[in-house]
Amino acid sequence: MRPLTIDLDQLAFALNTAGLDHYLDLLSGKVLLIPEEDADPELEALLRDEPERFLLVEPLGHGDELALMQEFLSEVVHPHAFAALQQALAGRKPVRTFRHVLMEYPVLLEAWHQFEAARLRELAQDWLEENELSPATPLH
């Protein structure tokens, strides 16, 4: 595995951001956002001239997002919140509805944000391993 200094939080953000192209620069370890419009011409030229230097960060799919929410639901002990969140995940537009229901429970909303951030960091570490990369410094 090739060691790189990587901002794990930036990588986690890229994994959780559908609709935007993020690339990991295998030379610098930086996670780069390449917007569809008004992209930096120098960056576009680098992508074109040195494609082997950049690794596309594919965002998590809808199923992965739902799986995280199901995993969080298993930790919810508040009976009313549990029932409302379970119903949200079983209905139409489950991701949006789940997030909407969480707004009614500020403590659970904060717990969700902490849970999601921790799991996304774990998924980012898994992504690095799958791509045979390792962080140069210990992750915290």
Does the pLDDT value for residue 23 go beyond 60? yes
Mean pLDDT throughout 5-33?
89
Sign of the dihedral defined by the CA atoms of residues 16, 34, 9, 109, in that order: negative
Compute how many other C-beta atoms are within 10 angstroms of the C-beta atom of residue 58.
Answer: 12
Identify the band that residue 48 occupies on the pLDDT scale cut at 50, 70 and 90: confident
- Per-residue pLDDT of 94-114, as tens digits, reads 999 999 999 999 999 999 999
Cα–Cα distance, 13 to 108 (Å, whole number): 21
Mean pLDDT throughout 56-83?
94
Identify the band that residue 86 occupies on the pLDDT scale cut at 50, 70 and 90: very high
For the chain, the domains span 2-59, 62-120
What pLDDT is attached to residue 80? Answer: 95
Does the pLDDT value for residue 38 go beyond 90? no
CB within 8 A of 36, min separation 6: which ones? 21
N- to C-terminal Cα distance for the chain?
19
